[in-house]
Amino acid sequence: MTMHEAGEPQESHNKIPKGWLLVFIGGIIFLLGYIVSYTPAISGWSFYKEFDKEMASAAKTTHSVAVKQYSGDKEAIKEGKELFANTCAPCHNSDATGGIGPNLTLTTLKFGATWKDIYESIANGRPNGMPPFLQQIGSEKVSKTIAFLESLRKK
Ligand code: HEC
C-alpha cells in the first residue's frame, strides 16, 4: 500500500453532474440560435430593416400626438412668416402666392385647406415635388407656419 492511496481525490470518478451538463449544452444551442437569427446572411435579419420599421411607427405616432394650433397668435405668425421666408419661399414665393409650388393663400387647396390637411402637406410632403418637413423643422414650426398661412387668407 503506497502513501497516497487513502484519501487522495480520484479524478476519474469525478463525473460532471447531469444538470450542469444540460445547462451547458443548452447554452451552446441558445448561442448558436442567437448568432444565426442575427446574422443577415442566414436569417435575413437586418439592423436597417428594424430601423425602418421603427421610423415608420414613430412617424405614425407623431400624427396621433396633438400638435398645438397657433391660429391668430401674433408671435407664432411672425415666427411662421420668418420660417416661410427661409424655407418655403424659394418654391411658394415669400407671400405664398406660388411659384414652383402652388398658391397657398387660397381657401381651397388641392390637398385640402383645413388645419389638418395643411399640416399633412407640410409635415409629410406631397407627391409632385413638395418635400416633407417634419424631420427638418419639427411639429411646432409646422404649426406656426400654418398660422402664418392662415393669416394671409384673412386679409
Ligand atoms: C422644393 C420646392 C418646395 C419647397 C421648398 C416647399 N414646397 Fe410646398 N409644394 C411644392 C410643390 C411642387 C407642391 C405641389 C405638390 C403636389 O401637387 O403634389 C407643394 C405643395 C404644398 C402644399 C399643398 C398645396 C395644395 O395645393 O394642397 C402646401 C400646404 C405646401 N406646399 C406648403 C409648404 C410649406 C409651408 C413649405 C415650407 C416649410 C413648403 N411648402 C416648401 C414645392 C415646395
Q: pLDDT tens digits for 22-52?
A: 899 999 999 998 888 887 777 777 777 888 8
Confidence band for 5, pLDDT divided at 50, 70 and 90 = low
Residue 129 near ligand 1, beta carbon < 6 Å? yes
Integer CA distances (angstroms), 109 to 67, 103, 137, 140, in order: 21, 8, 22, 22
Q: Which atom of ligand 1 is nearest to the CA of 145?
A: 35
> Is the pLDDT at 79 greater than 70, yes or no?
yes
Query: Alpha-carbon dihedral of residues 116, 118, 124, 128, nearest 10 degrees?
Result: 140
Determine which of 9-13, 61-65, 128-132 has the lowest per-residue pLDDT on average: 61-65
Between 107 and 154, the higher pLDDT residue: 107
| CA of residue 82 to ligand 1 center, whole Å | 16
Mean pLDDT of 62-88: 89
> Is the pLDDT at 61 greater than 80, yes or no?
no
